[in-house]
Structure 1
Amino acid sequence: MCIALPMKVLKVEEMKALCERSGRRMEVDCSMIDPPAADEWLLVFQERAIRAVSAEEAAEIEAALGATALAMTGEADEAAIRAGFGDLIDREPELPPHLRAQVGRRLE
């Protein structure tokens, strides 16, 4: 599975940015986006910036990644699912059945 991750820009030099996520630093190629500024957030895939994201969107992505990790290990509870996927609980497309079951929703 391939997932783009939110990373915070620490420093920018030409078409590269030094970014950090969870204490891990990485030099990111920014040649395909507008030049970022320090303290901005980027969505990064394979050491390349895909696009800039807001701090709020970066936090939502992190919450979804955390809930996904818990679900994969069988440790997710209703609070974790709501925290990570709250925006999907009461709208289309819905959560997949195995996650809906963890938030007390019956399958039709």
Structure 2
Amino acid sequence: MCLGIPMRVVEIEGIFAWCEGRNGRSRINTMLLGDVAPGQWLLTFLDTAREAIGAERAALIDSALDALDRIAAGNGDFDDCFADLIDREPQLPDFLRKEQS
């Protein structure tokens, strides 16, 4: 299974960026994105940046990854990891909604 890990750019080195995230510091290939800047958040897969993301989305993804860590450790208490979904009615994406006539 390949999980996307949010990482914050610290330093640029050609087509690579030194980034910091939940698992420490890593050298990330940024060739698929082009120019990135220190302070920017990236969604990374296998040490490659696939998407530039905002800090808020990075925090939500990190929170979901915290839930997976808890589950793997046998802890079933992870509701706080999905605070943005608690007490919210599920919504279909726009493309799945029927057009109202």
Give the TM interval when normalised to the shorter protein. 0.7 to 0.9
Provide the identity percentage.
34
Per-residue CA deviation, residues 27-66 of structure 1 (Å, 9 max, x unaligned), is 1110000311001110111110001111111100010010
Q: Which amino acid aligns with 2:82?
A: F
CA distance in 2, matches of 1:74, 1:7: 26
RMSD across aligned positions (CA): 1.9
2:81 to 77, 80, 84: 84
Equivalent-residue separation in structure 1 for 2:84 and 2:51 (angstroms)? 21
**Structure 1 unmatched ranges of 5 or more:** 94-108
Tell me the TM-score normalised to structure 2 length.
0.77
Higher helix share: 1
How far residue 11 of structure 1 moved from its aligned partner, in angstroms, is: 0.5
